[in-house]
Amino acid sequence: GAVVSQHPSWVICKSGTSVKIECRSLDFQATTMFWYRQFPKQSLMLMATSNEGSKATYEQGVEKDKFLINHASLTLSTLTVTSAHPEDSSFYICSAGSWDQPQHFGDGTRLSIL
């Protein structure tokens, strides 16, 4: 069964709306989670590293005010796309895993901004 649950799997909303995506680790505690963005036919691009109890570490070029990450507990990290616009439409994937283990990925969230 899935060890990382991501919700929702699909979102369609109007431009200007804020969208929250949840990533939950099941059966284990995740001090670190990763958020990726994937454009069609492209690779996964790391957006940020979510650290439980502290601020997320964003990759260069990722707007931290645009993509708010909160990791309030050892089992939940959230990504909020604020005031979303069509260019934010993408496939967002979270993952969790310890340093010596493969990443467990959520099933991803397809975000479409109209």
Partner 1 sequence: AQKVTQAQTEISVVEKEDVTLDCVYETRDTTYYLFWYKQPPSGELVFLIRRNSFDEQNEISGRYSWNFQKSTSSFNFTITASQVVDSAVYFCALSEALRGSYIPTFGRGTSLIVHP
Q: Which residues bind partner 1 (CB under 8 A)?
A: 32, 34, 41-44, 46, 49, 57, 91, 93, 95, 99-105, 107-108, 110
| Integer CA distances (angstroms), 84 to 13, 14, 60, 69, 105, in order | 9, 8, 20, 15, 24
Minimum CB separation of residue 50 from partner 1 in Å reads 11
Whole-number Å distance between alpha carbons of 85 and 101: 36
Query: Judged by CB, which is closer to partner 1: 70, or 103?
Result: 103
Query: Judged by CB, which is closer to partner 1: 48, or 84?
Result: 48
Minimum CB separation of residue 107 from partner 1 in Å reads 5
CB contact at 8 A, 39 and 90: yes
CB contact at 8 A, 15 and 88: no
Minimum CB separation of residue 83 from partner 1 in Å reads 25
